[in-house]
């Protein structure tokens, strides 16, 4: 008689932080056996609640407001650095999600795990310091331009604006890989089976924000024109890398093309 081999991921007592965010929500679906904690259950800027333990921590809680980090770098660091230290204090292996914004965007070929980080702004700096705060028993998953059917993200903003306006101005001189959180959450299962370290995991393909907006309107059936503008014209407070495509030289999981992720996300929204 054959016996099913236990899944080493699913047999661990797992914990998700930041379960109210778009990535945390996707992780709760991908890891249904995990205990999913929203900020109300554990604000990670404070030590873990009494009696909380886990054999694997999926640390999705993060400060993600890039411009807000320029205005309040201490609060961003409290979440992205202090929060990671608090998650690591549970003593369990840790998965931490980092960002393409740890790079300055001066390359014109994809950034690999061995490339030296050089963040331009406070957000990227806090995420880079958070990588270090994760410790030696951690998988650092750098990813980019996340979007999903919940929370605040570029896709949901474009859908709202596209329903209200005939034209939307979108930056066309930043290039990256929009990554669907559902695909990223599933890929996390494979990362956990690998040695600790840094992995670049982002959608296949690349585009500008304006390209992404046009694809969103096309796939959603919205007759909205995209007016392409520069980063300088947009006038965001925080500097952003002009090029931040991530690829792996360590054999990290390959995600579907960003356009496939877009279609999958829109299907979820329609459902």
**Domain enclosing residue 212, as ranges:** 14-270
Q: How many CB atoms lie within 10 A of CB 55?
A: 13
The yes-or-no verdict on residue 6 having pLDDT over 90 is no
In a domain, 4, yes or no: no
Q: What is the pLDDT of residues 164-197, one digit of tens each?
A: 999 999 999 999 999 999 999 999 999 999 999 9
Model pTM?
0.93
* Per-residue model confidence as pLDDT tens digits over 16-39: 999 999 999 999 999 999 999 999
Q: Domain for residue 256, yes or no? A: yes
Q: Is the pLDDT of residue 5 over 80?
A: no
Catalytic residue among 101, 111, 123, 180: 123
Q: Is position 123 annotated as part of the catalytic site?
A: yes
Average pLDDT over residues 212-240: 96
- pLDDT (average), residues 234-252: 96
Give residue 168's pLDDT. Answer: 97
CA distances from 191 to 165, 183, 186 (A): 41, 13, 9
Rounded to 10°, the helix 154-164/258-270 angle is: 60
Overall domain count for the chain: 1
Indicate which CATH number applies to the domain containing 96.
Answer: 3.40.50.720
pLDDT above 70: percentage of residues in the chain: 96
9 is a domain residue: no
pLDDT digits (tens, 9 = 90+) for 78-98: 999 999 999 999 999 999 999
| pLDDT score recorded for residue 271 | 85
Kindly state whether residue 128 falls inside one of the protein's structural domains.
Answer: yes
Q: Give CA angle at 227 (222, 231), nearest 5°.
A: 125
- Give a yes or no: residue 147 inside a domain: yes
pLDDT at 3: 39
Return the axis-axis angle of helices 22-30 and 181-191, rounded to nearest 10°.
50
Beta-strand pair 207-208/175-176: antiparallel
2 in a domain, yes or no? no
- 7: in domain: no
134 in any annotated domain = yes
Axis crossing angle, helix 258-270 with helix 209-220, rounded to the nearest 10:
40
**Which one, of 149, 150, 131, 122, lies nearest residue 64 by Cα?**
122
């Amino acid at each position: 008689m054959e016996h099913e081999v236990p899944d080493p991921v699913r047999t661990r007592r797992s914990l998700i932080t930041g379960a109210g965010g778009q990535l945390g929500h996707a992780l709760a679906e991908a890891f249904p056996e995990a205990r999913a904690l929203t900020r109300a259950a554990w604000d990670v800027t404070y030590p873990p609640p009494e009696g909380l333990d886990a054999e694997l921590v999926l640390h999705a809680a993060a400060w993600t407001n890039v411009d807000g980090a320029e205005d309040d770098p201490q609060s961003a660091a409290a979440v992205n650095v202090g929060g990671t230290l608090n998650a690591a204090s549970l003593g369990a292996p840790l998965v931490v999600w980092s960002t393409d914004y740890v790079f300055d965007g001066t390359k014109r070929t994809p950034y690999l795990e061995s490339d030296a980080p050089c963040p331009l702004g406070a957000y990227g700096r806090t995420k880079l310091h958070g990588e270090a705060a994760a410790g030696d028993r951690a998988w650092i998953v750098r990813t980019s331009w996340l979007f999903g059917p919940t929370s605040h993200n570029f896709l949901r903003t474009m859908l709202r604006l596209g329903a209200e306006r005939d034209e939307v101005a979108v930056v066309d001189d930043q290039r990256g890989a929009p990554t669907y959180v559902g695909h990223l959450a599933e890929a996390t299962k494979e990362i956990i089976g690998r040695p600790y370290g840094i992995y670049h995991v982002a959608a296949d393909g690349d585009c500008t924000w304006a390209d992404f907006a046009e694809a969103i309107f096309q796939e959603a059936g919205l007759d909205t024109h995209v007016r392409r503008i520069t980063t300088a014209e947009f006038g965001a407070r925080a500097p952003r890398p002009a090029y931040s495509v991530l690829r792996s030289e360590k054999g990290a999981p390959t995600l579907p093309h960003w356009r496939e992720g877009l279609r999958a996300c829109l299907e979820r929204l329609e459902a």
